[in-house]
Amino acid sequence: MSEPDPPSAAVDNELISRDIAARFGGERAICVGFPHWRAFNLRPFLSPWRRARFVADAPAAAALAPGAADSLIWWGCEVPAALEALAGECRCRLLRIEDGFYRSVGLGSDYIPPLSLIFDASGLYLDARSTSDLEHILSTAEFTAAELARAAAVRRRIVDSGLTKYNLSLPGRCDWPATDRAVVLVVGQVEDDASILYGCDGVATNRALLEAARRDHPGALLVYKPHPEVEAGNRAGHLGGYGLADLVEHEAAIASCIEAADIVVTMTSLSGFEALLRGKQVEVHGRPFYAGWGLTRDRLAMPRRGRALSLDALVAGTLIRYPVYWDPLARRFTTVETVLERLCDKRDRLAARGRLHRLQTGDLARRIRKLRVVRARLAEALRR
């Protein structure tokens, strides 16, 4: 039996489903190049289409003779030229998808299913080379007073509960030395992440970011927080502080680190957005989606983004209008408020049972989770 929606989710779920169907739905969702585990996790989000097909590459998609009522779907920024050409020839929509901003309890690279995804018909929020649906929203939308009030409530809920993208640990106090110096948090990233490849110029590695932070804040207490996927051994990056950081934080949750800092320095990390939600000064050395709107200290020019936004307008566009949210308990599309409640409940439940730390384990746990996904995928195929 599904649990009831939280009181904060005042938006009718039927209206949400109809809106998503109007935005994205059609005859067929033709998903290209998806590994089995990702295809399995994606399936709940494909209900706006009458049918979903998964194929290996653009020639296999072409063999299905897509038409104008179909959508070609690709994960990430690097869409093959053959797939873009096919979309043009068939006059069908090409959608790029990526994880949402408040995704899950656990890492995507550990095969944990997402509760939010991005479907973008223009580009992707993490690719600064061209505009995205999010950038268009933030550049042009007129947000109502009700939307801004809702965004403020969403922001308070995130901050009060200590939620982040992956929610690998409970918020708490950081065990850092007491100091009268400014505390500067340097947020490490996956160095081959698309947001760095397509959103950074001179500073494009964790070492370069630390060097820039030390140069800009010579007297500060510099704390380096490695990315959780790097610490888990799943993605590229370096765990050390390169002799530039006063402290490398491996244990505390990123939300706790942000709370304890005066300034947050990043390239393109979502942690910069999370720091804005918490009222922190944010310095960016790349072009993340939340920069260029007058809320951050930007090291690079962003000429497409000349509009000044309030923090609640940024939240309304980024968390209310842009993503698609899925409630795994009710098995339907839902609101950001419901997803935040689900994430908070699951995180706290796992922590109470002493199981939250298992999500930070290494390769063996990943393989076990992958086998479970494959087994579930096979069981689903046999039921058809």
Per-residue pLDDT tens over the stretch 175-232: 999 999 999 999 999 999 999 999 999 999 999 999 999 999 999 999 999 987 767 5
Closest C-alpha to 164, from 362, 308, 359:
359
Burial 3-20 (b: 16+ CB within 10 A, else e): eebbebbebebeebbeeb
Token output for 271? 């942690």
pLDDT reported for residue 124: 97
* Residues with pLDDT less than 70, the chain: 1-11, 230, 232-241, 360-384
What contacts 24+ positions apart, CB below 8 Å, involve 70-73?
A: 70/26, 70/27, 70/28, 70/29, 70/30, 71/24, 71/26, 71/28, 71/29, 71/30, 71/95, 72/30, 72/32, 73/29, 73/30, 73/31, 73/32, 73/97, 73/119
pLDDT at 136: 98
- Cα–Cα distances (Å) from 16 to 48, 117, 151, 257, 335, in that order, read 11, 15, 17, 35, 8
* d(C-alpha 188, C-alpha 208), whole Å: 11
Q: Which residue has the tokens 């927080």?
A: 225
The H-assigned helical ranges of the chain are 13-24, 36-42, 58-62, 81-90, 133-140, 145-161, 194-197, 206-216, 228-231, 254-260, 270-277, 311-315, 336-352, 363-383
- How far apart, in whole angstroms, are the C-alpha atoms of residue 280 and residue 131? 27
State CA 65 to chain mean position distance. 33
Q: Three-state SS for 128?
A: coil
What DSSP state is assigned to residue 359? G
Residue 50 burial (CB count, 10 A): 13
pTM for the structure as a whole = 0.90
Cβ atoms 261, 180 nearer than 8 A: no
Domain covering 169-305 in this structure, CATH number: 3.40.50
Task: Return the pLDDT at 355.
Answer: 85
CB count within 10 Å of CB 242 equals 16
- How far is residue 206's CA from residue 268's CA, in Å, rounded to a whole number? 11
CB atoms within 10 A of CB 213: 27
Q: What is the pLDDT of residue 13?
A: 78
Task: Give the pLDDT of residue 361.
Answer: 58
For residue 161, what pLDDT is reported? 96
Domain ranges of the chain: 13-125+323-383, 169-305
- pLDDT for the residue 86: 99
Strand order in the sheet with 71-75: 49-55, 26-32, 71-75, 93-99, 116-120, 324-327, 332-334
Amino acid at 158: I
Q: What are phi and psi of 206, to 5 degrees?
A: -65, -35
Residue 304: Cβ within 10 Å count: 13
Q: What is the pLDDT of residues 262-309, one digit of tens each?
A: 999 999 999 999 999 999 999 999 999 999 999 999 999 999 998 999
